[in-house]
Amino acid sequence: MDDQREGPMNDHRRFPIVALGASAGGLGALQAFFRALPVDRRDGMACFIVAQHLSPRHRSQIAAILGQCTAQTCLDLVDGLQPEPGFVYVLPPGRGIAVCEDGSFRLTEQAGSPTPTPSIDGLFETLARHFGARTIGIVLSGTGSDGSRGARAIADAGGSVFVESETSAGYPQMPIATRDTGVTSCQGTPGTLALRVYALAISCFEGTTPEDADPAVAASLLSLLGSLADLRGIEANARTVDLLHRAAEAAGCRTLVDYRLHLLDDGAERLHLARRLAALQRLWPIGAAQRAALLRHFAARAQTMQVGETELRIWVPACGRGESAWQIGILLAGLQHPDGRPVSFRLFATDSDAEVLNQARLARYSRETLETCAGLTAADIDHGFIGDGELMRPQPWLRERIVFSPHGVLNAPPFPRLDLVSLQLDARSLTGAAAQLRVFHYALREGGLLALQGPRCEPDSQRFEVLDPAAGLW
């Protein structure tokens, strides 16, 4: 960032001032942005100011909502607050912003404005005037062209302008209007933009270039690999960044910068990594053979459950958007004890990617997705799901039995005495896959099952007995 173009707020603290403007469809984009923002060991990397178009007649709940998505402190902006890294300030409806001589913020009236409020253009122009090259303006989903004029002011001051991509934004008119000014330097999903902000913040603190920051380099690595193994569109999320770090370590590279140079010189390594990344994104629904084998096993287990065994315990690691968890839930729903009582079960579904885990919790799917990605029959869907507009959502009896929580598949198992661990991704994409499958052994009770889908490696024969290799059960 250019020091010469900064306004009067030039001091020794070089953290960026990040302004996010959104309108229709913007709340989801804001949530996705802050969920994807990496947690850093420092006391915050940037100061964020949010302008979301809202009616002045309604009290905004955005600060509370965003507070559930980030470790940053989220507050409604009031007079006297100072720009501080690690804080997210939300502009109230019908108000604008000014910066006082001492650097504090002051709210201004925008009541009766013919344009939506708070004004994104006004926010961008004010911050560009006072913070110059430290300003980053981000335009997310919305109708109209608010933000496009302010984007020019930020660019003229030496700052950076990002926009949400057309394919990501629910309402792409605002991002398109800003993009068409010709001053934007980055466009992508909210998660991609968050990683880019993080990289710029690191460059401010450490005097590095953004390319030295791992999240940004991870994104560039994925771009490098994009023409291989159908990888277009894969983001540098928690799971893919973790895989890149492990691959770099295995190749003897200390940083992702070094690993990128290594990949440029090694075509075989590029292809191998591309296939691992593609496999990491691909979940296999339970096939017919495994479904039948699991039903046979758990029907027999229901007949022999001991006194005090109140429920079956299932874990689905790396659950992605959750289709696999719902599939297993429906599979177990028809089990009965000898006296006719339904068998109770508790299913734990985990993933390291906060964004896809939130989609799993939301649990809204098209019928086609449930049939193709979850492998459910029409009868399964009608039994376990109900209509919600054009989409389907789980019945309450099914939802209450499934718990979604964050956890990386390579970490120690968080749940003991399990009856089933169902891994529905390609185990070959895991570094040290055989060792990881051994770890699953310690989470299972005596006689518990490990179920693998898709292309798979063999579990340790000293810890797992083959039950039905054709069905992928050990």
Task: Read off φ and ψ for residue 451, nearest 5 degrees.
Answer: -115, 125
Q: Contact at 8 Å (CB) between 229 and 277?
A: yes
**pLDDT digit string (tens) for 299-345?**
888 887 765 667 889 998 888 778 888 889 988 888 888 877 888 88
Tokens 């913070």 correspond to 131
Whether the pLDDT of residue 239 is over 70: the answer is no
pLDDT in tens, 203-215: 665 554 444 445 5
| 267 vs 179 pLDDT, higher one | 179
Kindly report which listed range (63-67, 346-350, 361-365) carries the lowest average pLDDT score.
361-365
Per-domain boundaries in the chain: 3-206, 213-281, 288-471
Q: Is 206 exposed, middle or buried (0-12, 13-18, 19+ CB in 10 A)?
A: exposed
Q: Which residues contact 351 (CB under 8 A, 6 or more apart)?
A: 239, 317, 318, 319, 320, 357, 360, 404, 406, 407
Across all residues in the chain, what is the average pLDDT?
78
Active site residues: 23, 53, 146
- Both tokens assigned to 381: 């869907």
Query: What pLDDT does residue 8 have?
Result: 36
The dihedral formed by the CA atoms of 433, 434, 440 and 446, expressed in degrees to the nearest 10: 160
Number of Cα atoms under 13 Å in the Cβ half of residue 197: 34
Give the pLDDT score at 431: 45
Helices first, then strands: H and E counts in the chain: 17, 16
Pairing state between β 105-109 and 160-164: unpaired
pLDDT digits (tens, 9 = 90+) for 47-64: 999 999 887 777 788 999
pLDDT of residue 1: 40
Tell me what the mean pLDDT of segment 358-378 comes to: 79
Percent of the chain with pLDDT over 90: 16
pLDDT value at position 289?
Answer: 81
Same fold, 3-206 and 288-471: yes
Give the Cα separation of 285 and 373 in Å (integer): 6
The pLDDT value recorded for residue 221 is: 62
Given the candidates 3.90.1150.10, 3.40.30.10, 1.10.468.10, 3.40.50.150, the CATH classification of the domain at 288-471 is 3.40.50.150
**Please, are residues 228 and 271 in contact by the beta-carbon 8 Å criterion?**
yes
Q: Which residue, 93, 97, 127, is CA-closest to 112?
A: 93
For the stretch 370-398, pLDDT in tens is 876 667 888 888 989 998 777 889 999 99
> 50-54, 160-164, 200-204: lowest mean pLDDT where?
200-204
Least confident of 15-24, 62-71, 143-152, 451-460: 451-460
Name the DSSP letter for residue 456: -
Tokens read off for 52: 């979301």
Report, as an integer, the average pLDDT of 275-296.
Answer: 71
Check residue 227 and give its pLDDT. 45
Is there a contact between 346 and 311 (Cβ–Cβ < 8 Å)?
yes
Report the pLDDT averaged over residues 444-458: 76
Q: Determine which of 65-74, 280-289, 442-451 has the lowest per-residue pLDDT on average.
A: 280-289
Pick from 158-167, 275-284, 365-374 the range whose average pLDDT is largest: 158-167
pLDDT given at position 307: 58
pTM (2 decimals)?
0.46
Q: Is the pLDDT of residue 444 over 90?
A: no
The CATH number assigned to the domain with range 3-206 reads: 3.40.50.180
92 burial level (CB within 10 Å; 0-12, 13-18, 19+) = buried
Using a pLDDT cut of 70, give the percent of the chain over it. 75
Is 232 in a helix, a strand, or coil?
Answer: coil
Alpha-helical segments (H) within 373-423: 378-384, 396-399
DSSP secondary structure letter of residue 81: P
- DSSP secondary-structure letter at 471? G
